[in-house]
Amino acid sequence: MASVVEYKGPREGYRCGYCDAPEGKVSSGMWAHSMTVQDYQDLIDRGWRRSGKYVYKPVMNQTCCPQYTIRCRPLHFQPSKSHKKVLKKMFKFLSKGEFSKGNNEEEPMDSQMDDAGMHDFALKSKLDIKSDQRPLSEDCHEFKESKVKEKEDLEPKETKMLNQSHAKQEKLGSGEPSSSVKVVPSTPKPGKGADLSKPPCRKAKDIRKERKRQKLILKSQTDQVQHEEKPKLNQPKSIEDFIFDTLPDKSAHQLEVRLVPVSFEDPEFKSSFCQSLSLYAKYQMAIHKDTAAECGEAEFTRFLCSSPLEAENPPNGPDCGYGSFHQQYWLDGKIIAVGVIDVLPYCVSSVYLYYDPDYAFLSLGVYSALREIAFTRELHEKTSQLSYYYMGFYIHSCPKMRYKGQYRPSDLLCPETYVWVPIEQCLPALENSKYCRFNQDTKAVDEERIKELDRLRVLYKRTIMPYNIYKKRQKGPSDEAIVQQYADLVGQTCSERMLLFRS
């Protein structure tokens, strides 16, 4: 089955949702009547993105806020401190029902110090110090008294030991056998002297030295074991360790994540449609200030339920197959969030997320992204080539959209040569200019640039034909300029595979 697209051309002079410029946004678009997952994979690797069945590509060197395609590499992903904080918050809420609505951080991804524990420690220290404070004169007086008492206790013991020593010498001098010498140990009176049944007291300095020595011995033994067996010691916890940590038997809440194909023929999708629609409307009105008319059933269906992607279930693909899905988050029997995603040959592509604003304290935007990264890793185990997580667009010129760059390691797509470049290499250039070519090789070009326009495929009057045949049958003015523009944007491979509808 082939993709069928209808190119709409460039669209410019409309309001930008990122910088609010009234006429700053510029993009090219096409309506996808149907599309294979491989064609869409190749298109997003050239900077395209879909909204329902409409597929668009920003004109990067003209639009007010250049939108760079960003992808994360989940196989090497390690959650940051702020990511762990969100995952722990969710676990705490599910296990104990505890949460704090007053400290909701939905999108900021910068690592932040959690000073709650530090505050408790400081408070405890002050209380301890206060309770231990006493007048110095009292301490000195107690010290002197103890020294005097110690001296009194020791004097008779030392005298007795000295007398026993003299007696021993006398016995030895008289020629009697040493076995006849009987030394009777002195037993201190009750409440006085050292308790011989307990180990002698040790100085704190000696204890520290002993601990250090034990640590060095343990370290040398550990190093030897690592050298011989190389076990995985001190490995950081993976994202799965946090997400799938075992909840207690009597946990306060139950969370279930269901993957549902976007299809009205699917019974699970159909049965949950009304609840999902209601949640979408609640989210749009609360978060994006839409009116009820702007987030009704027609808009919801067009935007998040209509997909051009044809579902595919090849034998070597993931168990869920390829296509468009809703990842539903069910908390105690009701949907609190829905992540709209596309599963493609090389990636999981995030489309949209909507959630119940009443649960914003759980940072569901961050949590769902981490779940989708974990989901990508899970799919990779069955389908090795599926190893990326596409997060949509990274917009450096819009500070609130920079949070996507905190999911590391990640790459940005060069808008001229369509090669992936690590984001760390791109950021210095983006600080100086909104639009950047990331590929440092000045001789590099778009490998998919159009070399033979005549090989482009056209669907004309229900007949599939190459462009050179279509030109001969075409009536009216030539449309070669618009066809050339389309071909340059989709690349040689897609132009030969997809069908360009011409009326």
Secondary structure, 3-state, 434-482: CCCCCCCCCCCCCCCCCCCHHHCEEEECCEEEEHHHHHHHCCCCCCHHH
Final residue in a domain of this structure, among 371, 386, 401: 386
Report residue 44 as tokens: 């997003």
Lowest model confidence (mean pLDDT) among 193-197, 199-203, 384-388, 449-453: 193-197
Instruction: Indicate if 327 and 278 belong to the same structural domain.
Output: yes
Residues 343 and 276 in one domain: yes
Structural domain contains residue 423: no
Q: Is residue 197 part of a domain?
A: no
Of 417, 416, 414, 442, which Cα lies nearest the Cα of 426?
414
| Residue 100 and residue 26 in one domain | no
In a domain, 437, yes or no: no
486 and 344 inside one domain: no
Lowest-confidence region among 108-122, 162-176, 221-235, 459-473: 108-122
Give pLDDT tens digits for 11-63.
Answer: 998 899 899 999 999 999 999 999 999 999 999 999 999 999 999 999 999 99
Assess whether 308 and 245 both reside in one domain. yes
Per-residue model confidence (pLDDT) at position 218: 85
> Which of 386, 421, 443 is a domain's end point?
386
Same domain, residue pair 250 and 303: yes
Counting the structural domains of the chain, the total is: 2
Express each pLDDT in 114-149 by its tens digit.
Answer: 333 333 323 233 323 333 333 434 444 443 444 444
Alpha-helical regions (H) of 174-203: none
Query: What average pLDDT score do residues 155-181 get?
Result: 44
Say yes or no: 232 and 381 in one domain. Answer: yes
Task: Evaluate if residue 172 carries a pLDDT over 50.
Answer: no
Residue 110 lies in a domain: no
| Pair (22, 91) in one structural domain | no
Do residues 29 and 91 both lie within one domain? no
More confident residue, 24 or 152: 24
pLDDT value of residue 184: 52
Token output for 32: 């996808």
Distances (CA, A) of 418 to 41, 402, 415, 478, 491: 13, 21, 6, 30, 11
Residues 306 and 375 in one domain: yes
Residue 260: inside a domain, yes or no? yes
- The answer to whether residue 33 sits within a structural domain is yes
Please identify, among 348, 365, 386, the residue that sits at the C-terminal boundary of a domain: 386
Q: Which residues pair with 373 in a beta bridge?
A: none
Q: 373 and 484 share a domain?
A: no
Q: Which residue has the tokens 């990067």?
A: 60
- Element of type H or E holding 11: strand 4-14
Task: Give the per-residue pLDDT at 407.
Answer: 98
Residue 329: partners with Cβ closer than 8 Å, 6 or more residues away: 255, 256, 257, 335, 336, 337, 338, 339, 355, 364, 368
Considering the domain architecture, whether residues 484 and 375 belong to the same structural domain is answered as no
Which helix (H) or strand (E) element contains residue 350? strand 347-355
Helix intervals (H) in 336-418: 364-382
CB contact set of 297 (below 8 Å; sequence gap of 6+): 277
* pLDDT of 401 over the 90 cut: yes
Q: Which domain holds residue 8?
A: 1-51+478-503
Across 159-173, 210-224, 250-264, 372-386, least confident range: 159-173
Residue 173: inside a domain, yes or no? no
Q: What is the per-residue pLDDT across 233-244, written as a single tens digit (0 to 9) for each?
A: 578 899 999 999
d(CA 3, CA 413): 24
3-state secondary structure of 334: strand
> Is residue 186 one of the residues assigned to a domain?
no
> In degrees, to the nearest 5, what angle opens at C-alpha 102 toward C-alphas 101 and 107?
80
What span, in angstroms and rounded, lies between the C-alpha atoms of 425 and 409?
A: 12
